[in-house]
Amino acid sequence: MKNLRIKAARAGLDISQAELAEKVGVSRQTISAIEKGDYNPTINLCIAICKALGKTLDELFWEN
């Protein structure tokens, strides 16, 4: 399942996939794969992404 919420949050802060990847310690390709729904991140990576984007786990990863 695509994660457009991460992409939207990233765009809202005007940061690239590469910049987010650097902040959380992964490759740009990993961020791309998460946004496309091709990769399921670990809980630790989810938390790091949330902190970097100023969002909660619910806001970025909870499925309705």
- Domain membership of residue 43 (yes or no) is yes
Per-residue pLDDT of the chain (64 residues; tens, 9 = 90+): 789 999 999 999 999 999 999 999 999 999 999 999 999 999 999 999 999 999 999 999 987 7
pLDDT score for 46: 97
- Domain membership of residue 63 (yes or no) is no
CA 34 from centroid of its chain's CA atoms: 7
- Domain membership of residue 64 (yes or no) is no
Contact 28, 21 (CB under 8 A): yes
The number of folded domains in the chain is 1
pLDDT score for 16: 98
Domain CATH code at residue 12: 1.10.260.40
Range of the structural domain that residue 53 is part of: 4-58
pLDDT score for 56: 97
| Among candidate residues 54, 14, 18, the one with its CA nearest the CA of residue 35 | 18
Residue 20 burial by Cβ neighbours in a 10 Å radius (0-12, 13-18, 19+): buried
pLDDT score for 30: 97
